[in-house]
Amino acid sequence: MRTGSPAATAALGERAAGLLRGGEALLLWGPLGAGKTTFVQGLCRGLGIDDEVTSPTFALANRLEGRLVVHHLDCYRLGPGDDLHDVGLDAILDEVESGAAVLLAEWPDPLVPWLRERIELLAVPGEAPDSRVWRLRGVPDLPAGWAALAAGGDG
């Protein structure tokens, strides 16, 4: 799927919010400036979250509340020896696994071993300056309804 502007990337996130029921872990991959946080902002708007949504690069984790609780993590600054217990990952995963919350993670490499089931989105720059190409997959499978999102985009 493709988006042609930051507004279209946010709209993609907003459409994704409609698919969330609680219990999902979304891992967002892509280089700096690929639109991961913009996608999260749209998703949070779609969940009725009125708070300002920024990347938790320095806080590592932000908790946001709307139709669902969102745990927004950014693992960019985590090194190979950093302990994910220190950022409260156990409690976050308990809340997600109970269906009471969703997990959105940017730079999610350290989280992969913790998550048997996840939805992964890869954003890469397209040909035009603000265009993005998005790839979507589920591990082990893409949940029902998400294939329609993958077929979307704004061209």
Helix, strand, coil percentages, rounded to 5, for the chain:
30, 25, 45
Place of tokens 């309804």: 145
What per-residue confidence (pLDDT) applies to 147? 83
Pairing state between β 118-125 and 132-139: antiparallel
Task: Let me know if residue 148 belongs to a domain.
Answer: no
Whether omega for the bond prior to residue 31 falls within 30 degrees of 0, making it cis, is no
CATH number (domain holding residue 78): 3.40.50.300
Q: What stretches in the chain show pLDDT beneath 70?
A: 79-83, 152-155
Task: Let me know if residue 155 belongs to a domain.
Answer: no
Q: The domain containing residue 110 runs over which residues?
A: 2-143
What per-residue confidence (pLDDT) applies to 19? 96
Task: Let me know if residue 31 belongs to a domain.
Answer: yes
Joined together, the tokens standing for residue 27 give 């891992």
94-109 burial, b if ≥16 CB within 10 A, otherwise e? Answer: ebbeeeebbbbbbbbe
Task: Let me know if residue 52 belongs to a domain.
Answer: yes
State the Cα–Cα distance between residues 113 and 80, nearest whole angstrom: 13
Helix (H) or strand (E) holding 155: none
Number of domains in the chain: 1
What per-residue confidence (pLDDT) applies to 155? 45
**What contacts 35, CB < 8 A, 6 or more positions away?**
3, 6, 9, 123, 132
Task: Let me know if residue 154 belongs to a domain.
Answer: no
Task: Let me know if residue 28 belongs to a domain.
Answer: yes
What per-residue confidence (pLDDT) applies to 154? 55
State the Cα–Cα distance between residues 32 and 55, nearest whole angstrom: 12
State the Cα–Cα distance between residues 138 and 143, nearest whole angstrom: 7
Alpha helices, DSSP H only, in the chain? 6-17, 36-46, 89-97, 146-151
What per-residue confidence (pLDDT) applies to 26? 98
Task: Let me know if residue 151 belongs to a domain.
Answer: no
Task: Let me know if residue 39 belongs to a domain.
Answer: yes
Q: What is the pTM of this model?
A: 0.92
